């Protein structure tokens, strides 16, 4: 009995699916543009963005230059966003602002174009090309609409994008350090400090610059050691002056003492 009921349920579901599919195909094949647009909007309002997108796609070239084109274009862009096709969403939101620059929705669509790029940007461990694109788009929005209510969210996304790019660069610096490429580690940590002066990890980066220079000096030929130990001490002084309460100060002081001792030995040998 239970098996019979399940079979009937599956049959009913199949019939409903076929009817639904048949109904949609009937709409697609209709030559009545207004009917097709009405149905597309109904799908959109029901959050059936896949069917709405398919109908809007067919209507886009037909309805160009009509009074309904702006609203159609707007919803078409959003169907991609809701379907999480962020590349296409960004493209159509941006095209909307280009095609309707005076529209009441132009600001929103420019913002959504940038947000779509932000949504598409991957985790920081992966290639960050799209994060950089989203960052530029968000900055452009803030510059263009400085008084917009959306600036708060745009700045939040900007900060998150910057943090992602910073983390990517910090991972590269850490990798250089771990494989004993101390010069490359130092250059990369300094680059992070230049690129992200408001970073919350400034003291950590300065400490790592000090450690990298110290280890670079130890691994260097005698004639290069002195200048590299001096570079380590320079990083130490900057750390102490800029972050006097840093948790890294105690370890840095121990390393500073060792560095001073090594410098004294080198200078005594030169006498």
Per-residue pLDDT tens digits for 33-87: 889 999 999 999 999 999 999 999 999 999 998 999 999 999 999 999 999 999 9
pLDDT tens readout for residues 115-160: 999 988 866 545 668 888 889 999 999 999 999 999 999 999 999 9
| Domain interval for residue 202 | 181-271
Burial class (CB in 10 A: 0-12, 13-18, 19+), 206: buried
Which carries the bigger pLDDT value, residue 264 or residue 86?
86
- Output b/e per residue, 210-227; b: 16+ Cβ within 10 A: bbbbbbbbeebeeeebbe
Residue at 196 is within a domain:
yes
Q: How confident is the model at residue 176 (pLDDT cuts 50, 70, 90)?
A: very high
* pLDDT score, position 14: 45
* pLDDT score, position 18: 44
* Angle, helix 249-269 to helix 202-218, in steps of 10 degrees: 30
* pLDDT score, position 17: 47
Residue at 62 is within a domain:
no
Contact by Cβ (8 Å): 96, 73: yes
Q: Between the CA atoms of 95, 98, 100 and 104, what dihedral angle is there, to the nearest 10 degrees? A: 90
Query: Averaged over 10-31, what is the pLDDT?
Result: 61
Residue at 170 is within a domain:
no
d(CA 95, CA 118): 17
* pLDDT above 90 for 24: no
Q: Which two tokens stand for residue 116?
A: 């779509």
Residues 6+ apart with CB under 8 A from 153: 111, 115
Provide the 3-class DSSP secondary structure of residue 48.
coil
Evaluate the CA torsion angle 77, 82, 88, 91 in order and state its sign: positive
C-alpha dist (Å) from residue 72 to 36, 69, 93, 166, 254: 12, 5, 12, 40, 67
Q: How confident is the model at residue 16 (pLDDT cuts 50, 70, 90)?
A: very low
Residue at 153 is within a domain:
no
Residue at 47 is within a domain:
no
Residue at 247 is within a domain:
yes
pLDDT tens readout for residues 198-236: 899 999 999 999 999 999 998 888 788 888 899 999 999
* pLDDT score, position 15: 43
d(CA 160, CA 175): 23
Query: Averaged over 91-99, what is the pLDDT?
Result: 96
CATH number for position 190: 1.20.58
Residue at 220 is within a domain:
yes
Domains held by the chain: number: 1
Residue at 208 is within a domain:
yes
């Amino acid at each position: 009995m239970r098996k019979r009921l399940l079979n009937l349920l599956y049959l009913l579901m199949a019939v409903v699916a076929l009817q639904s599919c048949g109904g949609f195909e009937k709409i697609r094949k209709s030559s009545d543009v207004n009917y097709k647009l009405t149905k597309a909007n109904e799908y959109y309002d029901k959050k059936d963005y896949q069917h709405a997108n398919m109908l809007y796609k067919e209507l886009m070239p037909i309805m160009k230059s009509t009074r309904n084109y702006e609203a159609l274009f707007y919803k078409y862009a959003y169907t991609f966003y809701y379907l999480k096709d962020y590349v296409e969403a960004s493209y159509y939101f941006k095209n909307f602002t280009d095609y309707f620059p005076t529209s009441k929705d132009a600001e929103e669509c420019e913002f959504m174009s940038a947000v779509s790029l932000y949504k598409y940007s991957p985790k920081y461990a992966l290639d960050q090309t799209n994060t950089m694109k989203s960052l530029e788009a968000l900055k452009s929005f803030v510059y263009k609409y400085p008084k917009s209510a959306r600036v708060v969210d745009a700045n939040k996304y900007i900060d998150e994008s910057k943090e992602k790019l910073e983390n990517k660069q910090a991972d590269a610096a850490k990798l250089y350090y771990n494989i004993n490429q101390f010069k490359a580690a130092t250059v990369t940590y300094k680059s992070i400090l230049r690129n992200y002066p408001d970073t919350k990890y400034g003291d950590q980066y300065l400490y790592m610059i000090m450690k990298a220079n110290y280890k670079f000096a130890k691994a260097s030929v005698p004639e290069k050691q002195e200048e590299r130990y001096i570079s380590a001490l320079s990083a130490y002084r900057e750390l102490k002056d800029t972050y006097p309460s840093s948790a890294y100060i105690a370890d840095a002081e121990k390393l500073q003492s060792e560095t001073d001792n090594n410098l004294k030995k080198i200078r005594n040998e030169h006498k």
